[in-house]
Amino acid sequence: MTTSVGNPGSTTAEYKRSPSHFTDRITADGADGWPVEAGRYRLVVSRACPWASRALVVRRLLGLEDAISLAVTDPLQDERSWRFTLDPDGRDPVLGIAFLGEAYAAREPGYDGGISVPAIVDVPSGVLVTNDYPRITLDLATEWTALHRDGAPDLYPEPLRDEIDEVMEDVYRNLNNGVYLAGFAKSERAYERAYRNLFACWDRLSERLAGRRYLVGDTITEADVRLFTTLVRFDAVYHNHFKCNRNKLTEDPVLWAYARDLFQTPGFGDTVDFDHIKRHYYQVHTDINPTQIVPLGPDPSGWLTPHHREELGGRPFGDGTPPGPPPAAEEIPARGRADAGSGA
C-alpha cells in the first residue's frame, strides 16, 4: 500500500496501481547482493494494508519471527510517508528513523515516488532492500527455508505452482486490486467495469470453494493468504467505503465460512487489527470520506463463530504443524481484535 493522502492514482478515470520500484531479492545464494541472514533485515508493515498483511501471515506461518524483525507503522500516514508514531519518541527503535521514507531515500537519494509497505530494510545500513510485495512472500516461502520453524508448511509447493499462479492472478486482477479499481474509479463506467469484474471473480471463487477447503490442493498455500487479506477487510471497508456492495461477505455462505476457517487458523486472525484497518481507510482517503468518521461496525465477533469447513477434509499445514502463539510484543491490541465487539 502506497503512501497517499486523499484519492491516489492517475488523473484518468481508471485507477492505476504503480509497480514496485525496488525489486531486489533476498535469496539463499545472495544473487542480488542480499543473502538470507537471520537478524539482518527488518520487515516494515502497516496492519491496515492488505499487501503488507500477506507478509505478516506468511512470516507467522513459517515461524520467521526471530529471523526477520518487525516494525509496525501508524495506520495514519501523512505526506511524508508511513510514520513510526506508535513507537517511543516516534522513531523505530531498531532503524532509528521517524518515517519509512528515510529508508527509501537512503537507497535512492532524491527518490520522489510512492512509499509503500511491505518493505524490507537492511538494518546495518538502513537502506531499503525491496518493496516488491508479490515477491516478498514467495521468497520468504522458498528462499528462507533454512530459517523456517520445524513443521513449517510448504506455501508454494512446486508441483502446484502453475495452478497457484493462475488462481492468484485472477484473484489479484479482479479482487485484491479490483476493490481499489472500484473504490478509486473517477467515472461511472470505470467503477461499473471494476464492480462487475470483481463479483464475477467472487462467484468463481465461491463456486470453486463450495466443495474444497482450500483454493489449490488440500493445504493452505500462498493463494489462500492472498485471498484472505482482501476478504477480511471486505465488510469492514470495501463493501461500503469502496462501493463494492452487491453483497457482504457474511451474505455468501461459502466464502464467509472459508474466511472464518482461515481467520481461526493460527497465523491468520492473530495478525488482523480491525481498528487499524478501519482508521486507515476511513481517515486517510479523504476524497472518498471527507468527514473522516470511522464507523463503529460491523461487529467482528462473527469471525469467531463455527465454520464447519473441516467437514470438507484437507490438512491446513500438510505434514507440518500450526505455528505457536505470536510473540507478546506482536499481539494485536484489544481494541483491534475480533473479540472486542463493535465498539457500540
* Measured CA distances, 69 to 37, 239, 271, 316 (Å): 12, 33, 15, 25
Q: 140 Cβ partners below 8 Å, 6+ apart?
A: 55, 58, 59, 62, 64, 68
**pLDDT on residue 116:** 95
- State the sign of the Cα–Cα–Cα–Cα dihedral 194, 245, 261, 71: positive
DSSP bridge partners of 21: none
Helix (H) / strand (E) element for 43: namely strand 41-45
Q: How far is the C-alpha of 250 from the C-alpha of 257, rounded, in Å?
A: 8
| Whole-number pLDDT of residue 6 | 38
55-60-63 Cα angle (round to 5): 120
- Tell me if residue 172 is catalytic: no
Segment holding 72, helix H or strand E? strand 69-72
CB of 118 within 8 A of CB of 55? yes
Please state, in angstroms and as integers, the Cα–Cα distance from residue 138 to each residue in 24, 54, 141, 158, following that order. Answer: 13, 10, 5, 12
Catalytic residue among 15, 49, 195, 282: 49
Q: Is 49 a catalytic residue?
A: yes
pLDDT at res. 288: 96
According to DSSP, the residues that pair with 120 across neighbouring strands are 43, 130
DSSP one-letter string for 258-306: HHHHHHTSTTTGGG--HHHHHHHHHHH-TTT-TT-PPP--S-GGGGGS-
Residue 214, C-alpha cell as written in the block:
482450500
**How far apart, in whole angstroms, are the C-alpha atoms of residue 80 and residue 28?**
34
How high is the pLDDT of residue 4?
Answer: 40
For residue 10, what pLDDT is reported?
A: 47
Q: How far is CA 258 from CA 34, 81, 160, 265, in A?
A: 37, 35, 20, 11
**Residue 192, C-beta contacts closer than 8 angstroms, at least 6 positions apart:** none
Backbone angles phi, psi at 78, to 5 degrees: -130, -170
Torsion region of 127: left, alpha or beta (phi above 0 gives left; psi -120 to 50 gives alpha) = beta
d(CA 245, CA 230): 14
pLDDT at 342: 57
Q: Which CATH superfamily is domain 41-147 in?
A: Glutaredoxin (3.40.30.10)
The CATH architecture to which 158-340 belongs is: Up-down Bundle (1.20)
Q: H helices of 123-252, where?
A: 133-142, 161-171, 178-183, 188-209, 222-233, 239-241
| Cβ 114 vs Cβ 49: under 8 Å | no
Beta-carbon contacts of residue 290 (< 8 Å; ≥ 6 apart): none
Is it true that the peptide bond before 298 is cis, omega within 30 degrees of 0? yes
SS3 of 237, please?
helix
Domain ranges across the chain: 41-147, 158-340
Q: What is the mean pLDDT of each run of 10 residues along the chain (344 residues)?
A: 48 72 96 97 98 98 98 93 96 98 97 95 98 97 98 98 98 98 97 98 98 98 98 98 98 98 98 98 96 97 98 97 97 94 54
Choosing from 15, 133, 156, 180, which is the catalytic residue?
180
Residue type, 217: G
Q: Can you tell me which residue has the cell 470495501?
A: 238
* Same fold for the pair 41-147 and 158-340: no
